[in-house]
Amino acid sequence: MSGHDHGSGGHAHDHTAGANAKMLGWALVLTTAYLTAEVVGAFVFNSLALLSDAAHMLTDVAALVIALMAIRLGQKPADDKRTFGYKRFEILAAAFNALLLFGVAIYVLVEAVQRFREPEGVQSTGMLIVAAIGLVVNLASMKLLTSGKDASMNVKGAYLEVWADMIGSVGVIVGALAIRFTGWTWVDPIVAVGIGLWVLPRTWVLLRDTTNVLLEGVPGGIKLAELRASIAGLPGVAGVHDLHVWSMTMEDVNCTAHVTLAEGADPDTVRRSVAATLDSRFGIEHCTIQTEGAAEGCGDSDHLHP
């Protein structure tokens, strides 16, 4: 017996992806325009803090471009070569963004050490103006990306980078004011290092989450022991083994399991009961349940969508 019920989930996902693409597009336009201005300002005003912020802004642009590509490729249907489709590209893109941010942070730290050894003059007024513009751009981009950050790991990655740059812009503004009123040029590399250290923990979280998905680990928020006990406690279930839970993307959780039937239990009833429990208690909509008798090595299976 085999049953499939796709419902309207595909249309909802397409609608969400389309909305995310539109917001990402607007954020990309804003970020690219400011990146150009900030890079020019960093060299004209000789500010490492601006350069550090510009480097992070560059990763924002990369993140937004890759996120848009991920959405387009993620909508491609599965084929004979990639039976799961192209959704995993989003995770690869998010992992790349995290690695890119680590590289930027290392570069800024090395450059800051050089500035401490050989202090350089900084034009604080120009630095202040550019950072203030950046703050406005970052706030606008964050607003655009807020709605999609909880539904897409890649949009979340882009949001985190823009958020980090917003903090960076605030840091540059504070640094520019300090230099203007005190003349302490060493504040500039201090701010640059602070921006790098601020973003690293959040980057680590993103890299950890994407690595877990790529390793097909159990998604965060789901405890396998609790899930196993929930299935084992259902009427007609004598035991459960070969239990696997993983995700293709942040919102697409899958589960497969072999369920041993109790004496006289109806396989179809048990499978649907397991699927309903996985959906209601753990939010798992895609599951493949194989049932077998107590003395059997295999039995009927069903791919279910509650």
Cα four-point dihedral sign 216, 222, 223, 229: negative
Mean pLDDT for 162-170 is 78
CATH number for the domain that contains residue 110: 1.20.1510.10
Q: Based on the domain organization, do 167 and 291 belong to the same domain?
A: no
Do 237 and 126 lie in one domain? The reply is no
- Is residue 236 predicted with pLDDT exceeding 60? yes
Among 159, 183, 214, the domain boundary falls at 214
Cβ–Cβ < 8 Å for 298, 261: no
Residues 251/213, Cβ–Cβ less than 8 Å = no
The answer to whether 257 and 243 are in contact (CB under 8 A) is: yes
Q: How far apart are CA 184 and CA 228, in angstroms?
A: 61
Q: How many structural domains is the chain composed of?
A: 2
% of the chain residues with pLDDT over 70: 83
In this structure, is residue 63 part of a structural domain? yes
**In terms of Cα–Cα distance, which of 284, 306, 273, 294 is closest to 224?**
284
CA distance 167 to 92: 26
CA distances in angstroms from 29 to 60, 109, 186, 253, listed in the order given:
11, 29, 33, 33
Judge whether residue 296 has pLDDT over 60: no
The pLDDT of residue 7 is above 70: no
Number of other CB atoms surrounding residue 10 within 10 Å: 11
Q: Do 200 and 283 have their domain in common?
A: no
Same domain, 198 and 243: no
Give the DSSP letter string of 208-266: HHHHHHHTTPPPTT--HHHHHHHHHTSTTEEEEEEEEEEEEETTEEEEEEEEEEPTT--
Q: Which domain holds residue 264?
A: 224-304
In terms of domains, do 165 and 67 share one? yes
CATH number, domain containing residue 250: 3.30.360.10
**Range name among 112-116, 128-132, 278-282 with the lowest pLDDT average:** 112-116
